[in-house]
Structure 1
Amino acid sequence: MNVQSLSGMLRAQELLLVSMVRTLPVDARGALVDLFTEQIAFAEQAGLESRADRDVHDAFVAHARNLLIRLESLA
């Protein structure tokens, strides 16, 4: 899977997740933001050796950060 394919897939998932989060109570949104922040920190610690894996990983982390910004605005 190349970076563009992954980027498109993650963007679609991001939009779906944001629409689902909007239906949650405010306290649940806050808890979700905290959990998601922990997951991003964990993903950033990955030790990848090959350049291709690193590109895909960086694309994932960038989309995860964008999603976190959206979730924080809803919380």
Structure 2
Amino acid sequence: MSSMLVIASRVKYAFHMESRVRERRQAEGLSQQALAQAMGVSRQTINAIETGRYDPSLTLAVHLARHFGTTVEELFDVDA
């Protein structure tokens, strides 16, 4: 059974997620630091989401969407 887990852990996903966080943040006149504080994360996390280096957890994605008064689907686009 452990070999099955090793094989499953090697699966790479080919999904790319685009974020509209930067556009929404700038439209509201927020700095990365201000948004990070509102979300309870670091400024580096917001930067990584905006630059596509980090996909947020579902919880963080929902909180970001609620903050901007939109849906997760409007804020993030998953291109499979």
TM-score normalised according to structure 2 size: 0.28
Structure with bigger strand share is 2
TM-score normalised according to structure 1 size: 0.29
Structure with bigger helix share is 1
Larger radius of gyration: 2
- Select the structure with the greater relative contact order (CA < 8 A; seq sep ≥ 6): 1
